[in-house]
Amino acid sequence: MRDKKEWEQSSKDINDRRPSEDDYQKAISDGLVTEDIAENKKSKKKTIILGSIFSGLLLIVMAILLIVFFYPKSKNDSSLAASNHKISESSMIDSNSTQEGKSDHVSAALTEWKALALNQQIALLAQSYAKLNPQTTILAAEYLAMAGNISDGAIEWYDSNKIIHKVNVKINQATVKYDYINAKSWETEEQVTKINTVLADYFDTPSAKQVTEEIASRVIDSAKLASLNAEMNLEQIAQGDYSSVQGAWRTLEGRTLIFENNQCYIVEGEQKTRLVLNILSADNQQEQGFLMVNSQPEGTPAGAGLSFIPKGYDWADTDKAKPRIWLSNTFGPSAQSLPERQKLAVQKAIFYKVN
């Protein structure tokens, strides 16, 4: 068996041409020539090298494609920045729109507030305050009044024990501030709310508006509140304070008592005499529903009992719808069982406040 080179020369001499690769493979198959191992190895090595080069080029191409698709160029970065800028501008516009919407809402609330009557405004503030301070008796009061003005004043009312209460109110634009004394701790407290919140809670629905109107109907003038509720304050009188009965008191017979500058005077015709009043122990008398003090005309040793009888105390068929004063050195309101003749005498001689 010959090697490839010898076979090629022999085949060329015989066939007068250079043998082809097919001739070579057939000669190998027929056993006429030995396979050139070195050449075969060279061919395989060449194939491996070419394959490696091709594989490397393929990886480079794939890497380039990945960069193109997943890591945009500066042009795309600019587009993204522009997009983010547009989003930021949009957010600012939305924020500004929200703020403008709130401002419009507050402005509308202020306009509505200013169009209300004073008693409606007081009723709204009273309800708002009651929500912030649940201990208050303001909504149970028979009457309410505003001392000062609505922007810087005080809502006043009397509780069932005829004790006066008040809450200071200050309104600055759309903000309402309440300043008051806590009924339990006796310390000053503050609470804040908004006009639009007050209107939304107590005026925006028919039922809320109806409640507000009912409270508004109980709002009266501050001076009238003082005159209605400060009449004959027995606690004050027991402390020597006669301000709650200040003014003139007169009987059907024409006798007159006058309280002025915390002094008491009896007027008979042209004569005006000061009565010196001495406070007795008032505990047992207040429990009976009236209060008696000793009275003595100035400069004389004579004396008599001066009884202060508040509204509601039933005595001698006198008008219990009004406060009364009884002056006598014989008997007082504790004497309940009076004969008709004495009742008539009391009715003529009892003092009523002169309006």
- Residues 108-127, mean pLDDT to the nearest whole number: 95
Predicted confidence band at 167 (pLDDT cuts at 50, 70, 90)? Answer: very high
Per-residue pLDDT at 93: 60
pLDDT tens per residue across span 36-76: 544 555 556 667 777 778 787 888 888 887 777 766 554 45
Q: Write down the pTM of the prediction.
A: 0.45
Greater pLDDT, 292 or 96: 292
Mean pLDDT of 88-110: 69
pLDDT of residue 284: 44
pLDDT score, position 111: 93
Instruction: Convert the pLDDT of each residue in 293-305 to its tens digit.
Output: 999 999 888 889 9
Q: How confident is the model at residue 35 (pLDDT cuts 50, 70, 90)?
A: low
Give the pLDDT confidence of 214-250 residue by residue, as tens digits. Answer: 999 999 988 778 666 557 888 888 888 888 898 899 9
pLDDT value, residue 9: 76
The span from the first CA to the last CA of the chain, in angstroms, equals 157
Mean pLDDT across 14-23: 76
The larger pLDDT score, comparing residue 323 to residue 55, is at 323
Q: Say which range, 96-110, 172-186, 232-246, 267-281, has the weakest mean pLDDT.
A: 96-110
> CATH classification of 117-226 is 3.30.1460.60, yes or no?
yes
What pLDDT is attached to residue 92?
Answer: 62
Structure confidence at residue 152 as a pLDDT band (50, 70, 90): very high
What's residue 38's pLDDT? 43
